[in-house]
């Protein structure tokens, strides 16, 4: 049994609920923090790998946006009358 697990069990057996609860939260936080850090690294690697592919498709997207904005300017309604 790991030292953290032993400390948690000892605190429970001693009916030190506050200390046991704190140790459980610390253990869970430590595990989740390690997993999140590993996941961040994994996501960052994939995020920057896919960036090379997305740069090729960006000009098409910009052209479509320009066309939409140009059409919106042409089709805009008349200015409202002054009050």
Give the residue extent of every domain in the chain: 3-62
Average pLDDT over residues 59-71: 53
Judged against a pLDDT cut of 60, whether residue 61 lies above it is answered with: no
CA distance 29 to 34: 9
CA distance 79 to 74: 13
CA distance 18 to 24: 10
pLDDT at 20: 93
CA distance 22 to 68: 57
- Check: CB of residue 20 under 8 Å from CB of residue 12: yes
Judged against a pLDDT cut of 70, whether residue 5 lies above it is answered with: yes
CA distances for 4 relative to 9, 17, 76, angstroms: 9, 15, 67
Which residues contact residue 24 at a Cβ distance below 8 angstroms, ignoring those fewer than 6 apart? 8
pLDDT at 26: 92
pLDDT at 81: 62
pLDDT at 2: 81
pLDDT per position as a tens digit, 11-56: 999 999 999 999 999 999 998 999 999 999 888 888 877 555 545 5
């Amino acid at each position: 049994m790991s030292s953290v697990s032993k400390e948690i069990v000892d605190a429970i057996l001693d009916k030190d609920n506050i200390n046991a609860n704190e140790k459980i939260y610390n253990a869970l936080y430590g595990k989740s923090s390690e997993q999140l850090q590993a996941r961040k690294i994994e996501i960052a690697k994939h995020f920057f790998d896919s960036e090379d592919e997305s740069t090729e498709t960006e000009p098409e997207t910009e052209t479509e946006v320009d066309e939409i904005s140009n059409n919106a300017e042409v089709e805009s309604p008349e200015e409202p009358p002054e009050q």
